[in-house]
Amino acid sequence: MMKKYIFVMLFCISFINGFSQEYRPVDTADYAQRKAFVDRYKIISDNYSKTLKAKYPGTTGKELAKNYSEFQESFRKEIKNRDYVFNSGFTEMLRICFEKLKTKNQNIPDDIRILVAKDNAPNAFCIQDGVFVVNMGLFNWIDNEEQLISILGHELGHKLLSHSENWQKKLIETEQNSKTQVSEIYSSKINKSEKAFKLYKNQIYESGIFRRKNESAADSIGYVMYRNTGLKKSEYINSLRNLQKFDTISPTVVKVETYHRLFSSAEHPFKEKWLKMEDFSAYDYSNFKERLNKDSLSTHPEVVERISLLKKNFPEISQDEVSVKSENKDFLALKKTARFEILPNFYHSEDYGLGIYTAMQFLQDGEEESYYKNWLGKNFAKIYEARKNYNLNRYLDRVDPKNQSESYRQFLNFMWNLSLDDIKNIADLYAQKSP
C-alpha cells in the first residue's frame, strides 16, 4: 500500500533555496559506531530476556522472551543495514530534549539509548529495553523543540507504563485461550465459519480497545512529564494537531503538464498513451459489505478525541494557542536536513516508485531542481533495472482504485505504461542532467 505522507510532504515546510547546492546526504559510513551499538545491544537484550523469564514464570515468560529475541535479532540486522544513522545532529538534539525531560522527571530511567531512523514517517517509539527510536521524518511535521519534547514524553509514557510488554503478554494469553475455543469450534456440527469469524472479530475489537486505552494513558503521563519542564503547555496539544495533518491533509495532485515537462525531450517526445488510465468505472464498490467496524479496529484514538480528553483532565491547557515556529538554528537546520533526506531515505528503503512520485511533487513547484532531478534519475535507473529483471512489482505499487487518490493512480498508470526503452531513455536523460 502506498505511503500517504508522500502526498502531503510539500505542505509541511516552505523550501529554502541555496541549501541543496552544498547539501550531501547524511553520512552512513559509521561502521565502528554501529558495530559498537550492536555489540552492546546484544548484551542488553540478553539481560532483558532473562528479566522477562524471571518476571513471568512458565509459558508466558518463555513466549515473551522468544518473541522479544526474534524482534531484537531483526532489529540488529536493520542497524547493520544502515537503516539508522549515528553521524548526525539529530542525535544531539534528541539528547538535549531528553535531558530537559529527565532533569524534571526523576522517574525517567538513565539507560535510554537514542537511535535515528532513515524513515520519512512522522513517528517515534520506545522499546521496553530502553532503546528510543525517532524517525527523521518527524522533524518535517513539528514546529519547535517543545513539540519534539512532548512527543518524546508521550513515548516515554508507553515505556513507564510497560505498554509494549503488557501488550505482548495479552497477545500470548489470548492465543492460549483461543486454542481451547478453536477446538470447540472445530468440534461443532453447525455454523463453524460464523463462530470462527465471531471469535476473530472479538479478539480484534478487544485488542483495539486495549491499545486505544494505552494511547490515552501515555498522553496523560507524557503531558505531566512535559508540564514539569515548565515549557509552554499548549505546545503539547499543538504537536498532536501537527501530527493530525499527516492523516487529514488533502493529497497533492501532480498535474498532467508536469509529466509533459519532466518526461519530454527533443530525442524522445512525450507519448500521450503513457497517461492512459485503466477503467474501473464498471466496478461498484457500494456492493462491498464491511464485516469489521473500522472504528473498533483503530489502535490510535482520533486526535480530536485525545485532545478533548487531555483538556478535560488538565484544564490548564484548555485555551488554544497558536504554535510558535522555532528560532533555534540547530533545530531549523535539522528540519532542512529531514526535508532533503526524503528522497535518499526512499532510495535506501528501495521505494523507487515513491521516490519518483515525490520528486515530481517537489519539481512541480520548482523546488531545488538540480537536486531533485538528480534523485529522479537515480530512481528511474533502479526502475529500469527492476523492469529488465522482471521484478518491478517489488518497487512499484499496482493500481488500487479503492485506496489510492486519482493523482497517484494516474502516476502508477503512467509508470506501468512505459516500455523498457521508455524507462531507459528517461533514466539516461536525467543521468545527463545530473551534476
So what's the pLDDT on residue 252? 81
DSSP states of 288-319:
----S-HHHH-SS--HHHHHHHHHHH-GGG-S
- 3-class DSSP state of 240: helix
Residue 33: inside a domain: no
Residue 275 to residue 355: CA distance in whole angstroms: 19
Q: Which three cell numbers stand for residue 21?
A: 547546492
Nearest residue to 152 via CA among 236, 232, 231: 236
pTM reported for the whole predicted model: 0.84
Do 71 and 64 meet the contact criterion of CB atoms below 8 Å apart? no
Nearest residue to 153 via CA among 247, 211, 226, 94: 226
Residue 8 to residue 15: CA distance in whole angstroms: 14
Residue 390 to residue 89: CA distance in whole angstroms: 40
Nearest residue to 267 via CA among 87, 91, 109, 424: 424
Residue 262: inside a domain: yes
Do 26 and 88 meet the contact criterion of CB atoms below 8 Å apart? yes
Do 2 and 404 meet the contact criterion of CB atoms below 8 Å apart? yes
So what's the pLDDT on residue 423? 97
The residue range of the domain holding 425 is 256-285+336-433
So what's the pLDDT on residue 281? 59
Do 59 and 111 meet the contact criterion of CB atoms below 8 Å apart? no
Residue 269: inside a domain: yes
Residue 386 to residue 20: CA distance in whole angstroms: 29
Nearest residue to 257 via CA among 410, 79, 423, 58: 410
Q: Are strands 131-135 and 124-126 parallel, antiparallel or unpaired?
A: antiparallel
Domain count, the chain: 1
Do 276 and 413 meet the contact criterion of CB atoms below 8 Å apart? yes
Nearest residue to 143 via CA among 237, 214, 220: 237
Do 87 and 26 meet the contact criterion of CB atoms below 8 Å apart? yes
Residue 124 pairs in a beta bridge with 134
Residue 132 pairs in a beta bridge with 114, 126
| Number of neighbouring beta carbons within 10 Å of residue 14 | 8
Residue 116 to residue 86: CA distance in whole angstroms: 7
Residue 137 to residue 183: CA distance in whole angstroms: 46
Residue 392: inside a domain: yes
Do 317 and 310 meet the contact criterion of CB atoms below 8 Å apart? yes
In the chain (435 residues long), the average pLDDT of successive 10-residue segments reads: 46 44 69 89 91 90 89 89 88 95 93 92 90 94 96 95 86 71 60 54 58 88 96 94 76 91 94 87 52 47 84 86 90 94 95 96 90 95 96 93 89 96 95 66
Residue 412: inside a domain: yes
Residue 188: inside a domain: no
Residue 125 pairs in a beta bridge with 133
So what's the pLDDT on residue 170? 81
So what's the pLDDT on residue 102? 95
Residue 318: inside a domain: no
Residue 260: inside a domain: yes
| Sequence-separated (6 or more) residues with CB below 8 Å from residue 258 | 360, 363, 364
So what's the pLDDT on residue 119? 94
So what's the pLDDT on residue 214? 87
Do 6 and 358 meet the contact criterion of CB atoms below 8 Å apart? yes
